[in-house]
Amino acid sequence: MRNAWSITRWDPGAGTPTYLLASAFTVTPSLCAQATRVDCVIDSSNSIRGTTNFRHFAHAAESLLACWSFFRRYPAARPRLVLKDLRSIDGVIWAESLVRLMGCEVLGGIRAWQYYLPMATLNAAGCAVRGALRQRSGNGYKGREMKWLMSESDASELQQRLHRNHTAGGVLRVGIANRRGSRNLSNVDAVAAALSSALRSVQASSRGGGDGLQHFMRVDVNVVADLGGWTFLEQATWVSAQMLVVMPHGAGSVNYLFARPCTAILEVYPFGYYLPGEYLNLARAVGALGYTAYPGDTPYNDTDRHSSPAARYQARSVSLAPD
């Protein structure tokens, strides 16, 4: 019989890197006195395996955000993505929207091999400095936590480009983002009601001071039935407006990118599939506070026992009902 659900602050420890280092990239300098372009190469050696997997927007975001950090090291140069080995974001709406927010050109696509040019040609055309991740930066499992960005300021710049500046206004905003299909919260209404009741109870008992909730006039708990059904801008804006986000583990968690510093994020995991080092390390990179909800007390051991592809698929293909 499985244990009851438990909530834990995810703190991987000081030895777990949050950010990419400059040494994670190979850099080919420009042949010109000053680079006017900065190219970031994404190929099969430094992104998720398989062209179909790369077209999943959350996996594409791993590579795109690394390139965004690289671009910001060369602020005077025009940024350009160079997609090789049939990597493509053509028609991947969330990824295309992120690229537009990044303000970079894209060289390549479904037929990237036709468009990729030798370095000498790139330099002749635009005096480019070229960089590429040496390898994929992680996969989320313990000891291989995903590193998304080079600094918190990289996320702040993207957030500022959305022109969103939410203030508390005396309201404690709590958002529960559900998802369609597997790993959905089957009892989301009960979770919302319990969370609302608990927060209001704590708020009422803290009027005299103590935990900070006394500063809020009211608690607003809102539920999104399927965050993935919203546009890129709607998803980003919703996450940035919340002070507490509750979300099942899944691709939509890449929107932690737009969480404000000190936002509390609670990610809910199925039994045998515990990967806080994936999206919660992104939350950590933007300055948010990560928490996990898991139905047991040995999540990493359970995940190790479900390491086969069939077991992982089964563990992921369930509905969640945290109590």
Both structure tokens of 215: 């500063």
Convert the pLDDT of each residue in 213-258 to its tens digit.
666 678 899 999 999 999 999 999 999 999 999 999 999 999 999 9
Alpha helices for the chain (secondary structure H) = 51-54, 57-72, 93-102, 112-115, 119-126, 152-161, 188-205, 232-241, 276-285, 299-305, 309-316
Task: Give the residues of the chain that fall short of pLDDT 70.
Answer: 1-2, 109-126, 164-169, 206-216
CA distances from 63 to 19, 66, 84 (A): 14, 5, 12
pLDDT in tens, 155-203: 999 999 987 656 656 888 999 999 998 999 999 999 999 999 988 887 7
The pTM of the full predicted model, rounded to 2 decimals, is 0.91
